[in-house]
Amino acid sequence: MTKRPIFKRLDVPVGAQGGVSIPFEMQPIVQLADGRVKACELLYRGQRPADWASVDAAMLGFLSVPRPGLPPVYVNLSNDILMSRGADELARVATANDVTFELSEAVSGYGDRAAIASKVNELIGAGVRVALDDFGAGRDGLQRLYAIGNVAAIKIDREFLLTCMRRQDARRMLCMLVAQWRQEGVRSIAEGVEDNVMFAFAQAIEVDFVQGWFVDSLVAMQLLGNAA
Ligand SMILES: [Ca+2]
């Protein structure tokens, strides 16, 4: 297996002493139109923690104060954290830095979807940017989309992209959705772009942004080129 390039690493300090930190990878999200890195998703890269809530809490704490030099970031927000934290606290995190919260459906462990949609709409009403993660991975993609108004972005699941690469009908539907989202000002992001075939497919269906190992390697080569 080839070694994956790490674009940037981010160590999030934990506790008042600052002696411990949690490692994150900043995975670039690249705009297809010009090949530029427009944002990064913060991905946890440490050992499997005893509880994910402590990782999420450390990240929220880190982002709750302005971090000069931090690019626009996408941060995964579990349903547990979404429902247990106040909208004002999450809004503070989203405004102290340029943060978009990603809401997953694949790891949805919280049953009350109406309550989740209501909380998300409250956040969006408070000016928080929200992206729907893993679109196409589950059964409630469109249902979830209709329950939530004014999402900033939709991240298209890798497995769903692979399905659309195999099936003409799925591909046509995705193309229509991407075009409709663009008309509505919703950005589309193809996730898990791991080789040049997937990259070419993302270009063909005209998503706005791409993310994944293959994109990481393109960015790494660009950086090498710039350094030379
Ligand atoms: Ca994500």
The CA 34 to ligand 1 mean position distance, Å, reads: 23
Q: Is residue 186 part of a domain?
A: yes
pLDDT digits (tens, 9 = 90+) for 25-35: 999 999 999 99
| Residue 105 falls inside a structural domain | yes
Please report whether residue 226 resides in a domain: no
Nearest to 193 by CA among 220, 211, 206: 211
What digits encode the pLDDT tens for the residues 162-182? 999 999 999 999 999 999 999
Q: Do residues 192 and 157 lie in contact, with contact meaning Cβ atoms separated by under 8 Å?
A: yes
Parent domain of 118: 8-220
**Would you say the pTM of this structure is higher than 0.85?**
yes
Taking the centre of ligand 1 as the mean of its atom positions, its distance from the CA of residue 104, in whole angstroms, is 7
CA of 228 to the centre of ligand 1 (A): 33
Q: How remote is the CA of residue 155 from the centroid of ligand 1, in Å?
A: 8
Enumerate residues 6+ apart whose C-beta is below 8 A from 180: none
Domains in the chain, number: 1
Residue 145 in this model has a pLDDT that exceeds 90: no
Q: How far away, in angstroms, is 160 Cα from ligand 1 center?
A: 15
CATH code at position 69: 3.20.20.450
Would 175 be classed as within a structural domain? yes
CA of 170 to the centre of ligand 1 (A): 22
Is residue 2 a part of any domain in this protein?
Answer: no
Instruction: Give the pLDDT mean for 177-199.
Output: 96
CA distances (Å), 158 to each of 95, 194, 201, 202, 218, in order? Answer: 30, 9, 12, 11, 18
Give strand pairing partners of 8. Answer: 26
Non-local CB neighbours of 133 within 8 Å, separated by 6+ positions: 76, 102, 103, 104, 105, 106, 155, 191
Asked whether residue 3 is domain-assigned, the answer is no
Q: How far does residue 41's CA lie from ligand 1's centre (Å)?
A: 7
Residue 1 lies in a domain: no
